[in-house]
Structure 1
C-alpha cells in the first residue's frame, strides 16, 4: 500500500486507500457500509426549502426551527425574527409552517452593530465580530424569500430595537434571535417576551457558539429568574418555552 500511495496528492491518496480497502473487503465477501441519509433530511418541507439553495446557517439548525414552528401550530400569534442574513432560516420556517401567520422580520441589512464588552471572548478579551460583519443587501434577502403566497412577510429595516414599537400591538408564537451580540439579543428579549403567547417559544441561534458569548450571556441573564425554561441543544441553539 505504501508504494502504491507514494507520490500521489491528498485526494488521489484518499481515493487509492478507498480502493484498496474495497478490494480487501471484496476478498472477504464483505461490502463497505454506506452512510445512510438521515430520515429528517427526507421530509418534504425540509427539501422544499433546501431546493432554494440559500446560503446561511447549518441545515440542522434550520430543521430544528422547522419543527419548532410546526409544533406551535395551535399556539396563536405571529413569528418575529431578529437577524436574517441571507434569509435561510426564514425560508425553512415558511416552508414548514402550517399556520397562516405574519412574519415580522428585523434586520439592519448593514451587518452587525458595534460589539460591546459583553461580547469579548474569554481567551482574547476582544469580540470575534466587528461592526458591519455579515452584511447582506435587503434586495437579495427579499429575492430569497419570494414565493410564499400564503404567508405575510413584513420587513423592518433598521437597528434593533428602533422599529420594535411598530409591532407592539401584536402577539407572537415564536421569536427567533440570530443577532450574535449581547445588546441586540437583550433588547429583543426585553421587547418580545411580554408579547409572546403562553406556550410560545424563543430560539437563540447562537447560544452555544464560541463566537457569540454575548448572546449566551443575554439569555442567561434574562432567564435567570426562571420566567422561562431554557433548553440547550447540540446544534448550539437554545430553546426557551414560555409557560402556559
Structure 2
C-alpha cells in the first residue's frame, strides 16, 4: 500500500505542476501563472526544477494544493481509473480486507491484464467475485466452477486461482474469437461479429497463467460445444458473461439444473444498458424458474442468483 500511495503522490505532484505551469522549450524562463514564481523547465515535464518556491503564506499554499489535488482526483483520476496500475476506493477499514485476502493484488493484476479500460476501476466486481466465491467455499457447496463468455480470461483467472486452492476444476466455454453470427439477431441485431474478437485461446491461457492446470477450455459455439461429460458435472459457481440473449438464455437453461443447492450464478451486464438481450434472457429465466436477482453496483451492472432449492 505504501508503494501505491507513493505512486499516487507522484502522479498528483506531476499533474498539479502540469495543470498550473506553462511549459515552454528547453531552458526558457517563464512566469508561473498561478504563483508568479520563476522556474526553469526542460522539454520533458518530469525534469522540472524550481528556482524559487511559492511566495504565498503557508496556509494559503496548503489550501491551493488541497483544492487542486481534490479537483484532480475527482475530475481526472476517478473518471479514468484505468490509466492507473491500481484501483482507488475509500473504505476506512479496508486494511482489514487486504489482510484477510492477501491474494488480492495478484487477482487484481489478473483481473486487469489486457483489459485496464474495462476492469481498471471495477473493483466492486472483483471484490464481489472474491467474497461470494469464498462464501460458497466456506459453506462447502459441492461442485466445480464454470464460465460461459471468457473473452480475455480476466474473471476466468479469478475462478482458476480460487479453484486451484480447493482442488476444483474450471470449465471455460467460449468461441475465443468473438460473437457468433447466429446470435446476432432480434434484440441483439445491433451487435457486430467483430465485438470482443480481439482475443484468442493462447491469450486467455497467458492471463490465467500457472493455474491453467485446473482449467478445461471448451472452444466453439455454445451449446453445440457441450460434451456429454459436461452434462453430469455438479457446479457450485457459474459465471455467465455472454452479452447477448441467445447464449445467456441457453447458458442459464443448461447450467441451472446442474447447479448445486446454494450454488452461485454470476450474471454480467444485467443493468448495463448496452446489452439488453442479456437482461431479457435473465428476466425470462427468473420468471420461468421463480428466481430473483441481487444487483451489484459494479461498472456493467452484474446480478447474482443463489439457487435455493
- Do these two structures clear the TM 0.5 threshold for a shared fold by scoring above it? yes
Cα gap change, 1:20/1:176 in structure 2, threshold over 3 Å: closer, same or farther? farther
Counterpart of 1:113 (choices 173, 177, 180) is 180
- 1:15-53 Cα deviation digits (max 9, x unpaired): 219x96997883286673877754388442221122345
Counterpart of 2:242 (choices 171, 179, 183) is 179
Cα gap change, 1:117/1:46 in structure 2, threshold over 3 Å: closer, same or farther? same
Residue 45 of structure 1 aligns with which residue?
103
Residue 79 of structure 1 aligns with which residue?
145
Higher-RCO chain (CA-CA 8 Å, sequence separation at least 6): 1
Shift of residue 14, structure 1, vs aligned partner: 6.7
CA distance in 2: counterparts of 1:24 and 1:202, whole angstroms = 58
Count of residues in correspondence between the two structures: 225
SS in 1 for 2:287: coil
SS in 2 for 1:134: coil
Cα gap change, 1:200/1:194 in structure 2, threshold over 3 Å: closer, same or farther? same
SS in 2 for 1:223: helix
RMSD: 3.0
CA distance in 1: counterparts of 2:161 and 2:89, whole angstroms = 21
SS in 2 for 1:146: helix
- Whether contact under 8 Å (2:293, 2:304) holds in the other structure is yes
Residue 195 of structure 2 aligns with which residue?
133
SS in 1 for 2:209: coil
Shift of residue 154, structure 1, vs aligned partner: 0.5
CA distance in 1: counterparts of 2:302 and 2:18, whole angstroms = 34
Counterpart of 1:165 (choices 227, 245, 261) is 227
Residue 241 of structure 1 aligns with which residue?
306
Shift of residue 205, structure 1, vs aligned partner: 1.1
Shift of residue 99, structure 1, vs aligned partner: 2.4
Residue 54 of structure 1 aligns with which residue?
113
Shift of residue 75, structure 1, vs aligned partner: 0.7
- Whether contact under 8 Å (1:227, 1:242) holds in the other structure is no
**Larger gyration radius, structure 1 or structure 2:** 2
- Whether contact under 8 Å (1:45, 1:96) holds in the other structure is no
Cα gap change, 1:28/1:178 in structure 2, threshold over 3 Å: closer, same or farther? same
The runs of 5 or more residues in structure 2 that have no matched partner are 1-14, 22-32, 36-53, 74-87
TM-score by length of 2: 0.64
- Whether contact under 8 Å (1:46, 1:96) holds in the other structure is no
CA distance in 2: counterparts of 1:113 and 1:161, whole angstroms = 12
Shift of residue 95, structure 1, vs aligned partner: 3.0
Residue 10 of structure 2 aligns with which residue?
none
